[in-house]
Amino acid sequence: MSAATVRQMSTVVLLAAQDASSSILLERRLRDNGFEIAGPGARADVVIAGDGPELERFCAEAPVIVLGAAGDELDDRVLAFRRGCDDYVARPFDPEELVERIRAVVRRSRRPARRVLEAGQLLIDEGARVARLRGVALKLSGKEFRLLTALAADPERVFTKNELLRDVWGWPASMPTRTLDSHASRLRRKLRALDPATPYIDNEWGVGYRLVGPHPDALMR
């Protein structure tokens, strides 16, 4: 198993109440800057909206940047903020400025960035607290999830028992316990139930545990 890939989930932007021609150009610019564009009904991290009747609904679901009309008045901007928007950009606007305003709104928003670990066929979304093996969600206890996340952060590295007890349980290294071993055993069974040919949780006797990929013999099958 190669080293885990750690990636941040892309910022998802919903373009609402935009005319077709400007939406195409804006969508292209946002994609070029690493944003994802939300489809109908999808969750968004930021909404780009006009100052229309649906503004309050958008504001209740995500941070909103209003694209105001050309020649708007101060009262229009003040009213939009009172209705709940997080920023207001009047037309005509510079696309690069809008990109930076989106980034600023995301930094200020309450939602933390979601870290996702990928190790072979294993994917762990820490923010959502979901681990999937070969696309199937694993039913894990809190400590099992934290143990798996710790091991997946550096696959094939042997983590000592003292490290895992300290980082996962917050216990002193000198505390005698079989808790780690029992959790590792249960976690191994759950992983192998979905992939019997792969060892996954390997016990290095006298040292600790590591996350491993398919056994070489399994690759020949």
Structure tokens at 52: 């229309």
- Quote the CA–CA distance of 218 and 37 in Å, as a whole number: 40
Bridge partner list, 142 = none
CATH of domain 125-220: 1.10.10.10
Closest to 179 (Cα-Cα) out of 94, 171, 65, 16: 171
- The structural domains of the chain, with segments of one domain joined by +, span 10-108, 125-220
Assess whether pLDDT exceeds 80 at residue 188.
yes
pLDDT tens across 146-159, in order? 999 999 988 888 99
Bridge partner list, 15 = 48
Structure tokens at 64: 């909103």
CB atoms inside a 10 Å sphere around CB 135: 8
Query: Would you tell me which CATH number, out of the four given (3.30.980.10, 3.60.150.10, 3.40.50.2300, 3.20.20.80), belongs to the domain 10-108?
Result: 3.40.50.2300
User: Is there a common fold for 10-108 and 125-220?
Assistant: no
pLDDT tens across 130-184, in order? 999 999 999 998 889 999 999 998 888 899 988 898 888 877 666 667 889 999 9
- Please tell me the predicted confidence (pLDDT) of residue 177: 75
- Quote the CA–CA distance of 147 and 180 in Å, as a whole number: 9
Helices (H), 34-178: 55-61, 74-82, 95-108, 142-152, 161-164
- Give the β-pairing of 36-37 and 12-15: parallel
- Please tell me the predicted confidence (pLDDT) of residue 184: 93
User: Which helix (H) or strand (E) segment is 189 a member of?
Assistant: helix 179-194
User: Which helix (H) or strand (E) segment is 211 a member of?
Assistant: strand 208-211
pLDDT tens across 36-86, in order? 888 777 788 899 988 778 888 888 888 899 988 777 788 888 888 888 888
